[in-house]
Amino acid sequence: MRQIFLDTETTGLNAEAGDRIVEIGCIELDHRRPTGRRLHHYVNPQRTSHPDAVRVHGITDAFLADKPLFATIAEELRAFVAGAEVIIHNAAFDLAFLEAEFARAGLGRFVAETAGITDSLLMAREMFPGKGNSLDALCRRLEVDNSGRELHGALLDAGLLAEVYLRMTRGQDSLVIDAAEPSAGVRHHAGADLSAYALPVLHATAAELAEHAAMLADIDQSSGGKAVWRAASAPEAMA
């Protein structure tokens, strides 16, 4: 599955009041692996940015004066996201601006060009209820290096979001292995004698077991006691 991680910077907070996009950054992953394809543009919003917005992203009106209009880069963006799942942190905010810009460019709806929108903020709130779930907070919690993020930047934030998303969704999509459909790249040698090979068994240390137990307890607490392994190990479940 092709996924696009997208972020924008804007002149202010209110797309309905006429605030505009000043920067857009996108990074592509295919089957959870970076493809190296990215899209990044600064955009002339044809209006001044709010001072609070400039303090966040550092993009001045003077810097944007000679940059292309959104309508100039809209077709490239549409082609880049076409048919892909688009992941955005706090998607409602960015989508309000993207839909407004697409409408101005006469391109219909942005969402209609995609295979769907995933809001990573909503995902994080389900996984970590009651905790801070900003991109910075998730980077700290999931040990994603964001030391270079002194100011917000669309391409930088899209890259951080991709790393955060992969860590939030690590694990297999399915634990079922269909024997009738061998994995690509795996060779099967009928009749091979493997008796001469001794596979080492590495046992966890006491410290590793304690760390694992602490992690499970933290997950159990974050889920409000809904961890399935707790239910499975309960006395009534063992009867």
DSSP code of residue 33 = E
Place of tokens 């700290």: 140
Sign of CA dihedral 118, 119, 122, 124: positive
Q: Around Cβ 70, how many Cβ atoms within 10 Å?
A: 24
Question: DSSP letters along 106-153, please?
Answer: T---SGGGSSEEEEHHHHHHHHSTTS--SHHHHHHHHT---TT-SS--
CA dihedral 170, 175, 180, 182 (to 10 degrees): 30
With beta carbons less than 8 A apart as the criterion, state whether 28 and 3 touch: yes
Cβ-contact 20, 101 below 8 angstroms: yes
Residues taking part in catalysis? 152
Helix (H, G, I), strand (E, B) or coil at 93: helix
In a 3-state reduction of DSSP, which class is residue 56? helix
Neighbouring CB atoms inside 10 A of 29's CB total 20
